[in-house]
Chain A
Amino acid sequence: MVDPEYLKFDTLSLHAGQEPDPTTGSRAVPIYQTTSYSFVDTEQAAGLFNLEQPGHIYSRISNPTVAVLEERIAALEGGVGAVCTASGMAAFHLAAATIMSAGDHVVASRNIYGGTHNMLNLTMPRFGITTTFVDPRDPEAWRSAITPETRLLFAETLGNPGIEVLDVPLIAQIAHENGLPLMVDATFTTPYLMKAIDLGADIVMHSVTKFLGGHGIALGGVVVDGGRFDWAANDKFPTLSQPYDGYHGISFADEYGHQALSMRARAEGLRDFGAAMSPTNAFHLLQGIETLPLRMKRHVENTSSVVEFLEEADAVTWVSHPSVATHPDHELAKQLLPKGAGAILSFGIAGGREAGCRFIENVQLASHLANVGDAKTLVLHPASTTHQQLSAEDLVAAGVGEDLIRLSVGLEDPEDIISDLRRALRASQKG
């Protein structure tokens, strides 16, 4: 039996979306630090504005450097297209605003990044879009939360901060049985660990700032269009299936079919909301993606060493990572994440909140900051930072106890990471 001659993941990480610059021969992706682009003539300009022909008009809508990053991430995820944004939050908003309007409803996992939870819980209701939060491990909760107004199911591939593994095929099936798309935030897994579209997700978003970039120097987000969802199969998605006056009555589903979401997200979403990625950030993020497979392999190996240490540490009361046999999603992780369940873990520290604070203040190699997925090891106390806007009740529902420490395992020598943790744990118990 013959096989498709597709370029492999590592090759795509280096090459997808870029050819050497035809004018200068530049092998590296040039930074097109420009706001706008000269038109050939009035006819070409009119064609560009009317979507008759592709090309760049203004860097809020598209930019050649950003386009390389978009094509590369789409290639790695197996999506038909991608649209980059100024941040991960902007990516979530772009996707949501492209497919939904006032009166629509979302069913979302309750175990998601605090910022996304805030947007769904507090901000989007001001614009008429409401959300029901559910236990991501409870399929019946997903099913029963769907209403006639529901337009989107949303979850993270690995929950935050409890590292719940999303059963993507199952939740996608529930979505599709109801004529709805599933969007996943795959920031913690990256396409190296999980190809969510192959598993059934329809839209994948990332904070590119995290593992994809890997260096913690540039903000960015991306919406990847899986291209398998039929937006015209029912009347739930008029922004994609009905004529749009913004481009003389265009119907994106009729014109672009499987690429409708990508095209509308750019043509309307970037044009009108304007949360565009800067070309310099795109350049930095591309440098990170070139080494994504190498870095993720090392992240996973180091995480394995750190988990092993924490499980034996006296000051640690529990460790939550899908690689741990007692984790509720251990078997699911082996099935869906065969290369590893990421480099984010959480653990409980003996002594609760005070011990947690002492631990954070005593790490020296690990950095205390509100980020994950850096090449450097990072620690955070979510109850006092990323999740501080949540009420006590929501904190419990989101699985964020006061003793919880979140760890993003970096690429340092694992012995050095463990020495730092050992020292800080020892100090945490001397209250």
Chain B
Amino acid sequence: MNIECRGETINIATGGVEVDRDLPPVVLLHGAGMDRTVWSQQTRYLAHHGFAAMAVDLPGHGESGGEPLSSIAEMADWVAEAINEIGLGPAHLVGHSMGSLISLEVAARHPGAVERIVLLGAAAAMPVHPDLLGAAERNEVLAPQLITSWGHGTRAHIAGNPTPGLWMRSGCQALLERANDGVIFNDLAACNAYEAGDVAARITCPITVVVGSEDKMTPPRATSQLVAGLSDVDLKHLDGVGHMMMIEVPDRIRELLLDALQ
């Protein structure tokens, strides 16, 4: 479905069904340079299992109009506005990577917009390797390659996609290559500049954090530092899984989301 937010048309995948306004809303937020399709193995499932599932293309990403927003705080304010535009009341927010930072900030800055947050590949700080940042600034294919390389666990670099015929490595790289020039850099720069400050202390909603043991982009140690500052948090560990967990182990993430959101 499309909504209008700040004068731009925003594309939202709803799992192939019309949003049922009587169901609890779940808003899924993608990571840097990506789009709604990172949730393709979860959106349709949630939409047929009792939720109004909405995987958003953030401004300037995927099929959405507008320019990408340049800070996590701005993105969080925009998401709160979008939730208001959708008009289904407070939503469960599921965020991956940059989307997890946005979710944290929405929960802290706009508590009335959020029912619960589920964070995948999360950390209180996300410093970006300078070579990756440089490649992204130059719009080089090296940036999608590095994100893909570091973003997947060892197993995902060999095999293991439960969807017959799909190859995860090229799937991730191709998705990032489709981003408009400047989008990956914008997002990585926003992650790199993010400072959590007292955000953890300001969050009052329940939180689920999912960490992959082979996550090189938000390593378990960094996730632990985030979790240490949060209250009412449920930490889930996934062994042998990297940063792109909803693609690497879609079945486990589906089960975990269903469990957390119910």
Most buried by B among A4, A15, A16, A55: A4
In the bound complex, what is the Cα–Cα distance between A89 and B177 (angstroms)?
31
Given A5-B149, A53-B251, A81-B167, also A226-B16 (CB < 8 A): no
When the two chains form their complex, are residues A74 and B165 in contact, meaning their CB atoms are under 8 A apart? yes
When the two chains form their complex, are residues A256 and B40 in contact, meaning their CB atoms are under 8 A apart? yes
Q: Is residue B162 contacting chain A, with contact meaning CB distance below 8 A?
A: yes
- Chain A residue with Cβ nearest B250: A54
Given A15-B158, A19-B158, A258-B178, also A75-B16 (CB < 8 A): no
Q: Interface stretch among B168-176, B188-196, B199-207?
A: B168-176
A contacts, CB < 8 Å to B = 1-2, 4-7, 15-19, 47, 50-56, 62-64, 66-68, 70-71, 74-75, 78-84, 226-228, 230, 232, 247-251, 254-259, 262, 266
Q: Interface stretch among B21-29, B115-123, B140-148, B220-228?
A: B140-148
Which residues in B have their C-beta under 8 angstroms from that of A84?
Answer: 165
Most buried by B among A1, A56, A81: A81
In the bound complex, what is the Cα–Cα distance between A51 and B157 (angstroms)?
24
**Smallest CB separation, B255 vs chain A (Å):** 10
Which residues in A have their C-beta under 8 angstroms from that of B16?
Answer: 51, 247-251, 255
When the two chains form their complex, are residues B167 and A82 in contact, meaning their CB atoms are under 8 A apart? yes
Which residues in B have their C-beta under 8 angstroms from that of A248?
Answer: 16-17
When the two chains form their complex, are residues A82 and B165 in contact, meaning their CB atoms are under 8 A apart? yes
In the bound complex, what is the Cα–Cα distance between A250 and B173 (angstroms)?
24
Binding site secondary structure of chain B:
helix
Which residues in B have their C-beta under 8 angstroms from that of A54?
Answer: 41, 161-164, 250-251
When the two chains form their complex, are residues B159 and A18 in contact, meaning their CB atoms are under 8 A apart? yes
When the two chains form their complex, are residues B63 and A232 in contact, meaning their CB atoms are under 8 A apart? yes
**Which of A55, A83, A259 is the one whose CB lies under 8 Å from B171?**
A259
The number of residue pairs between A and B whose CB atoms lie closer than 8 Å in the complex comes to 147
Interface residues of B in 121-159 (CB under 8 A from A): 129, 131-132, 142, 145-146, 148-150, 155, 157-159
Q: Please tell me the number of chain B residues within 8 Å of chain A, measured between CB atoms.
A: 49
When the two chains form their complex, are residues B13 and A266 in contact, meaning their CB atoms are under 8 A apart? no
When the two chains form their complex, are residues B13 and A254 in contact, meaning their CB atoms are under 8 A apart? yes
Given contact pairs A2-B146, A255-B43, A257-B175, a sample of 7 additional A-B residue pairs in the complex whose CB atoms are under 8 Å apart: A5-B150, A17-B167, A62-B165, A71-B161, A80-B167, A80-B171, A255-B15
In the bound complex, what is the Cα–Cα distance between A397 and B164 (angstroms)?
41
- Chain B residue with Cβ nearest A67: B164
**Smallest CB separation, A229 vs chain B (Å):** 9
Q: Is residue B50 contacting chain A, with contact meaning CB distance below 8 A?
A: no
When the two chains form their complex, are residues B167 and A71 in contact, meaning their CB atoms are under 8 A apart? yes
In the bound complex, what is the Cα–Cα distance between A230 and B37 (angstroms)?
13
**Which of B45, B149, B160, B162 is the one whose CB lies under 8 Å from A6?**
B149
Which residues in A have their C-beta under 8 angstroms from that of B145?
Answer: 4, 6
When the two chains form their complex, are residues A257 and B35 in contact, meaning their CB atoms are under 8 A apart? yes
When the two chains form their complex, are residues A257 and B62 in contact, meaning their CB atoms are under 8 A apart? yes
**Which of A17, A53, A82 is the one whose CB lies under 8 Å from B159?**
A17
Which residues in A have their C-beta under 8 angstroms from that of B62?
Answer: 257
When the two chains form their complex, are residues B63 and A79 in contact, meaning their CB atoms are under 8 A apart? no
**Smallest CB separation, A268 vs chain B (Å):** 14
Q: Is residue B96 contacting chain A, with contact meaning CB distance below 8 A?
A: no
Which residues in A have their C-beta under 8 angstroms from that of B165?
Answer: 62, 67, 70-71, 74, 81-84, 262, 266
**Smallest CB separation, A278 vs chain B (Å):** 15
Which residues in B have their C-beta under 8 angstroms from that of A79?
Answer: 167, 170
Q: Is residue B166 contacting chain A, with contact meaning CB distance below 8 A?
A: yes
Q: Is residue B36 contacting chain A, with contact meaning CB distance below 8 A?
A: yes
When the two chains form their complex, are residues B162 and A55 in contact, meaning their CB atoms are under 8 A apart? yes
In the bound complex, what is the Cα–Cα distance between A301 and B77 (angstroms)?
62
When the two chains form their complex, are residues A15 and B159 in contact, meaning their CB atoms are under 8 A apart? yes
14 A-B pairs whose Cβ atoms sit less than 8 Å apart in the complex: A2-B132, A4-B148, A53-B254, A55-B162, A62-B165, A79-B167, A80-B167, A80-B171, A80-B174, A81-B171, A83-B165, A254-B11, A255-B13, A258-B175
In the bound complex, what is the Cα–Cα distance between A53 and B166 (angstroms)?
14
- Chain A residue with Cβ nearest B147: A4
A-B pairs, 7 with minimum CB distance:
A227-B174, A257-B37, A4-B149, A62-B164, A74-B167, A70-B165, A54-B163
In the bound complex, what is the Cα–Cα distance between A237 and B132 (angstroms)?
35
Which residues in B have their C-beta under 8 angstroms from that of A1?
Answer: 131, 142
Which residues in B have their C-beta under 8 angstroms from that of A228?
Answer: 174, 177-178
Given A4-B146, A54-B164, also A47-B174 (CB < 8 A): no
When the two chains form their complex, are residues A4 and B142 in contact, meaning their CB atoms are under 8 A apart? yes
